[in-house]
């Protein structure tokens, strides 16, 4: 049985729509410039404005190690590194397509259920097995299924590895209150295609207009509770062209 991940289905049905980001062409009517010196003065001022703006943006968006966002993130990720046993819920939607997973992560292995198809999953990095009920034998997933499902089943530990050198670029988000608890949030602006190619191999990175990778952290014990990836596709005009994947982490120890 072929399990289609939402971004894969969405990419297939909209391939003709996404032809890449259209580039705007700025034309200058030379007849409107009767004094060339004013033209070059305007260009110089514009260049200075761009340089100053980029410098300000760099300092605002790139907190140095030691900032509150950086310190919080380091502590939370350190706690995640030593947590090798938790319940994991993954949900993804893209356009009108959605897919959910409920399972258990233990020592690098992921077991659980693809909810919409009632298919049991056993996932080890590079190896994916499926079965249709608890009494049947595990079957090795076909090559066609492996890439997309493997990307969909990316674990929090694998996302932590993806962050890598981007750690210092973390930004502080707003606090959230839920169930009488306080959660802190941090996020990264996705600026490299590698993250998109790894998490969403069916998507062409050039069709992504903007993207963020967020992390929700419980304030009481600094544990990671959620990863959230949001992508806005190029030329999107409504919510149908937004891709979102969430990974919710529970501290429960029992197998689901």
Q: H/E/C letters for each residue in the chain?
A: CCCCCHHHHHHHHCCCCCCCCCCCCCCCCHHHCCCHHHHHHHHHHHHHHHHHHHHHHHHHHCCCCCCHHHHHHHHHHHHHHCCCEEEEEEEEEECCEEEEEEEEEECCEEEEEECCCCEEEEEECCEEEEECCCCCCCEECCHHHHHHHHHHCCCHHHHHHHHHHHHHHCEECCCEEECCEEEEEEEEECCCHHHHHHHCCCCCHHHEEEEEEEEEEECCCCEEEEEEEEEEECCCCCHHHEEEEEEEEECCCCCC
- Give 61-100 pLDDT, tens digit per residue: 444 567 899 999 999 999 999 998 999 999 999 878 899 9
Average per-residue pLDDT in the chain? 79
What pLDDT shows up at residue 58?
Answer: 44
8 A C-beta contact, residue 113 and residue 102: yes
The token duo for 107 is: 């020592």
Q: pLDDT-derived band of residue 256, with 50, 70 and 90 as boundaries?
A: very low
Rounded to two decimals, what is the model's pTM? 0.74
Go through the domains of the chain in sequence order and give each one's CATH number. Answer: 6-17+63-250 (2.50.20.20)
């Amino acid at each position: 049985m072929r399990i289609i991940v939402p971004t894969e289905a969405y990419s297939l049905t909209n391939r003709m729509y996404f032809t890449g980001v259209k580039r705007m062409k700025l034309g200058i009517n030379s007849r409107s410039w009767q004094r060339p010196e004013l033209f070059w003065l305007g260009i110089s001022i514009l260049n200075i404005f761009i340089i100053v703006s980029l410098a300000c943006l760099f300092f605002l968006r790139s907190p140095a190690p030691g900032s509150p966002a950086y310190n919080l993130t380091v502590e939370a990720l350190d706690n995640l590194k030593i947590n090798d046993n938790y319940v994991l819920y993954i949900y993804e939607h893209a356009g009108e397509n959605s897919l959910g997973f409920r399972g258990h992560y233990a020592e690098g292995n992921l077991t659980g259920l693809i909810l919409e198809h009632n298919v049991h999953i056993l996932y080890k990095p590079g190896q994916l097995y499926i079965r249709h009920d608890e009494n049947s034998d595990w079957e090795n997933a076909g090559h066609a299924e492996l890439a997309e499902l493997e990307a969909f089943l990316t674990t929090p530990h694998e996302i932590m590895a993806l962050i890598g050198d981007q750690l210092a670029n973390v930004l502080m988000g707003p606090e959230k209150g839920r169930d009488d608890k306080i959660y802190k949030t941090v996020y990264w602006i996705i600026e490299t295609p590698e993250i998109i190619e790894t998490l969403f191999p069916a998507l062409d990175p050039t069709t992504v207009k903007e993207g963020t990778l967020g992390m929700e952290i419980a304030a009481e014990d600094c544990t990671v509770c959620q990863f959230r990836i949001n992508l806005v596709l190029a030329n999107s005009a409504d919510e149908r062209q937004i891709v979102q994947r969430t990974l919710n982490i529970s501290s429960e120890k029992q197998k689901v």
